[in-house]
């Protein structure tokens, strides 16, 4: 693997980015050993501290394991990495090498949202129910301004997920909405159907306010799976 010497502005970031992409792309495969710190420092024309910091960040993402002896073993990101890897990539303008990543993230979003809506309807206190209702009303008032509706939609769902009382769902939600679903921009035509369903958002809020868990889950499913209705052969790439 040939590495490119990096500018001095953010040396560790550049080393990290190139090594991360080399691992994710398969240039280094699971079970391989990365070159040693001294060799990497020479290849990147940086000091060993920058290399050491980059390797630490790779280990935090679950891409490598640094042993006490100094060897750096490449791990299988499909086994060891989490959503932080997707976030790291999207911030650098890159994505995971998975053709169906947009679809996969939307499916995860739907699964979390459906159950969060049910739990919110069953668990939320009166103040949260009122907040969800008010957020839905504010959302409706923004139609048909899709960019503003998209922002308001995230706000509404944040109230729903927080109202579910499930911390794991809340953390996953934060990861999904960071960096546009953590995979890049979802094509507008896939999101418009959901956003423009103002009546559906009202029904979701009404079900939450009434404490009807099954109805809230059903309406959440209708909203969150609209973006998954892609014609055959037109799966969008991240």
For residue range 119-167, what is the model confidence (pLDDT) as tens digits?
999 999 999 999 999 999 999 999 999 889 988 999 999 999 999 999 9
| Res 105: pLDDT | 80
Positions of the chain with pLDDT under 70: 1-9, 90-91, 93-95, 179-190, 230-238
| Res 20: pLDDT | 92
| Res 42: pLDDT | 94
| Res 177: pLDDT | 79
Distance of CA 151 to the CA centre of its chain: 16
Q: What residues form DSSP beta bridges with 74?
A: 64
| Res 183: pLDDT | 41
């Amino acid at each position: 693997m040939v590495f490119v010497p990096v500018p001095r502005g953010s040396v560790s970031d550049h080393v990290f980015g190139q090594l991360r992409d080399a691992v994710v792309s398969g240039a280094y495969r699971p079970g391989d050993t990365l070159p040693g710190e001294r060799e990497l420092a020479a290849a990147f024309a940086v000091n060993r501290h920058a290399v050491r910091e980059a390797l630490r960040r790779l280990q935090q993402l679950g891409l490598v394991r640094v042993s006490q002896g100094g060897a750096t073993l490449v791990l299988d990101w499909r086994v060891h990495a989490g959503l932080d890897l997707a976030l790291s990539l999207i911030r650098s303008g890159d994505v995971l090498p998975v053709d169906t990543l947009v679809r996969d993230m939307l499916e995860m979003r739907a699964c979390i949202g459906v159950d969060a809506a049910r739990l919110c309807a069953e668990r939320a206190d009166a103040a949260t129910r009122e907040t969800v209702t008010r957020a839905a009303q504010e959302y409706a008032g923004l139609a048909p301004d899709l960019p503003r509706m998209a922002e308001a939609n995230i706000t509404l769902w944040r109230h729903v997920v927080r109202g579910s009382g499930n911390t794991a769902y809340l953390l996953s939600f934060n990861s999904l909405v960071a960096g546009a679903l953590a995979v890049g921009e979802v094509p507008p035509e896939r999101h418009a159907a959901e956003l423009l369903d103002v009546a559906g958002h009202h029904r979701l809020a009404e079900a939450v306010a009434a404490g009807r868990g099954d109805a809230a889950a059903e309406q959440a499913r209708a909203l969150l799976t609209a973006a998954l209705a892609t014609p055959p052969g037109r799966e969008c790439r991240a």
